Amino acid sequence: MTATQDRADQTGAGESAVTETRTINLIQAVTEAIAEEMERDSRVVLFGEDVGARGGVFMATAGLQAQFGKNRVFDTPLSEASIVGAAVGMAVRGLRPIAEIQFADYMGPGFDQIISQAAKIRYRSAGQFTAPMVIRTPSGGGVKGGHHHSQSPESYYTHTPGLKVVMPSTPYDAKGLLKAALRGEDPVIYFEPKRLYRAAKGEVPNHDYVVKLGEAAVRREGTDLSLIGYGGVMPDLERAADALAAEGVSVEVIDLRSLVPWDRDRVLTSVHKTGRAVLVSEAPRISNFMGEVAYVIQEQAFDVLTAPVGQVAGFDTPYPYVQDKVYLPGPNRIVAACVKALTY
Amino acid sequence: MIQPFTPEPIRYVAEDGTPVQPLPARFTPELLRELHALMIQAREFDRKLITLLRQGRTTFYAQSSGMEATQVGLARSIRVGHDWVWPYYRDHTLGLAMGVPMYELISQCLGTNSDTCRGRQMPHHFAAQAQNFVSISSSIASQVPPAAGNAMAQKYLGVDEITVCTFGDGATSEGDWHSGLNMAGAAQAPALFVCENNQWAISTSIREQTASETIHIKAKAYGMPGYYVDGNDIVAVMEVLTQVAEQIRGGGGPALVECLTYRVGSHSNADADAEKHYRTREEVEEWLGRDPITRVEKLLEHLGHPISAEERAELIARTHREVDEQVLRAEATGQPDWRIVFEDVYADLPDHLRQQEAFLRAEQTGGQA
Ligand SMILES: Cc1ncc(C[n+]2csc(CCOP(=O)(O)OP(=O)(O)O)c2C)c(N)n1
Contacts of B201 in chain A (CB under 8 A): 49, 78
Interchain contact, B174 vs A78, CB within 8 Å: yes
Q: How confident is the model at residue A149, as a pLDDT?
A: 92
Rounded (to 5) percent helix, strand, coil in chain A: 40, 20, 40
In this predicted structure, the answer to whether residue B1 has a pLDDT above a threshold of 90 is no
Q: Which residue of A has its CA nearest to B351?
A: A316
% of chain B beyond a pLDDT of 70: 98
Q: Which residue of B has its CA nearest to A316?
A: B353
Instruction: Tally Cβ neighbours within 10 Å of residue B303.
Output: 15
Split at pLDDT 50, 70, 90, the class of A134 is very high
Q: How confident is the model at residue A11, as a pLDDT?
A: 44
Please tell me which residue in A149, A159, A207, A272 is annotated as part of the active site. Answer: A149
Q: What is the pTM of this model?
A: 0.94
Chain B: give the shortest CA distance to residue A204, in Å.
Answer: 29
Split at pLDDT 50, 70, 90, the class of A146 is confident
CA of B124 to the centre of ligand 1 (A): 14
Split at pLDDT 50, 70, 90, the class of A177 is very high
User: From the candidates B124, B140, B275, which should be mutated to test the interface with A, based on the most A CB atoms within 10 A?
Assistant: B140
Contacts of A336 in chain B (CB under 8 A): 363
Split at pLDDT 50, 70, 90, the class of B367 is low
Q: How confident is the model at residue B274, as a pLDDT?
A: 67
Chain A: give the shortest CA distance to residue B208, in Å.
Answer: 7
Interchain contact, A317 vs B277, CB within 8 Å: no
CA of A177 to the centre of ligand 1 (A): 29
Cα angle B138-B144-B147, degrees, rounded to a multiple of 5: 115
Nearest to A50 among B122, B202, B352 (CB): B202
Q: Which residues contact B310 (CB under 8 A, 6 or more apart)?
A: none
Split at pLDDT 50, 70, 90, the class of B361 is very high
Q: pLDDT by residue (tens digit) across B182-232?
A: 999 999 999 999 999 999 999 999 999 999 999 999 999 999 999 999 999
Chain B: give the shortest CA distance to residue A335, in Å.
Answer: 13
Interchain contact, A108 vs B139, CB within 8 Å: yes
| Mean of per-residue pLDDT scores for chain A | 94
Nearest to A326 among B174, B176, B338 (CB): B338
Interchain contact, B278 vs A318, CB within 8 Å: no
Q: Which residue of B has its CA nearest to A336?
A: B363
Contacts of A109 in chain B (CB under 8 A): 139, 141-142, 174-176
Contacts of B176 in chain A (CB under 8 A): 109
Residues with CB under 6 A from ligand 1: A 49, 78, 80, 102, 106, 109; B 90, 138-140, 167-171, 198, 200-202, 263, 267
Q: Is A284 helix (H, G, I), strand (E, B) or coil?
A: strand
* Residue whose C-alpha is closest to residue A344's, from A295, A298, A308, A304: A308
DSSP B314-365: HHHHHHHHHHHHHHHHHHTT----GGGGTTTSSSS--HHHHHHHHHHHHHHT
In this predicted structure, the answer to whether residue A5 has a pLDDT above a threshold of 60 is no
In this predicted structure, the answer to whether residue A8 has a pLDDT above a threshold of 80 is no
| Mean of per-residue pLDDT scores for chain B | 95
CB pairs under 8 A between A and B: 124
- Catalytic residue status for A149: yes
In this predicted structure, the answer to whether residue A265 has a pLDDT above a threshold of 70 is yes
Cα angle B72-B163-B223, degrees, rounded to a multiple of 5: 110
Q: How confident is the model at residue B277, as a pLDDT?
A: 79
- Where helices occur in chain A by DSSP H, the ranges are 3-11, 26-40, 64-68, 80-92, 111-112, 121-124, 154-158, 171-183, 234-246, 264-274, 289-301, 324-327, 331-342
Q: Which helix (H) or strand (E) holds B272?
A: none
Query: Using CA atoms, how far apart are residues B290 and B176, in angstroms rounded to an integer?
Result: 32
Cα separations in angstroms, A296 against A292, A299, A338, B22:
6, 5, 19, 77
Q: How confident is the model at residue B276, as a pLDDT?
A: 73
User: From the candidates A47, A323, A324, which should be mutated to test the interface with B, based on the most B CB atoms within 10 A?
Assistant: A323
In this predicted structure, the answer to whether residue A18 has a pLDDT above a threshold of 80 is no
Contacts of B267 in chain A (CB under 8 A): none
In this predicted structure, the answer to whether residue A120 has a pLDDT above a threshold of 60 is yes
Q: How confident is the model at residue A257, as a pLDDT?
A: 98
In this predicted structure, the answer to whether residue A172 has a pLDDT above a threshold of 90 is yes
Q: Which atom of ligand 1 is nearest to the CA of B200?
A: 20
Query: Using CA atoms, how far apart are residues B102 and B361, in angstroms rounded to an integer?
Result: 33
Q: Which residue of B has its CA nearest to A143?
A: B59
CA of A180 to the centre of ligand 1 (A): 31
User: From the candidates A57, A101, A321, which should be mutated to test the interface with B, based on the most B CB atoms within 10 A?
Assistant: A321
Q: pLDDT by residue (tens digit) across A267-313?
A: 999 999 999 999 999 999 999 999 999 999 999 999 999 999 999 99
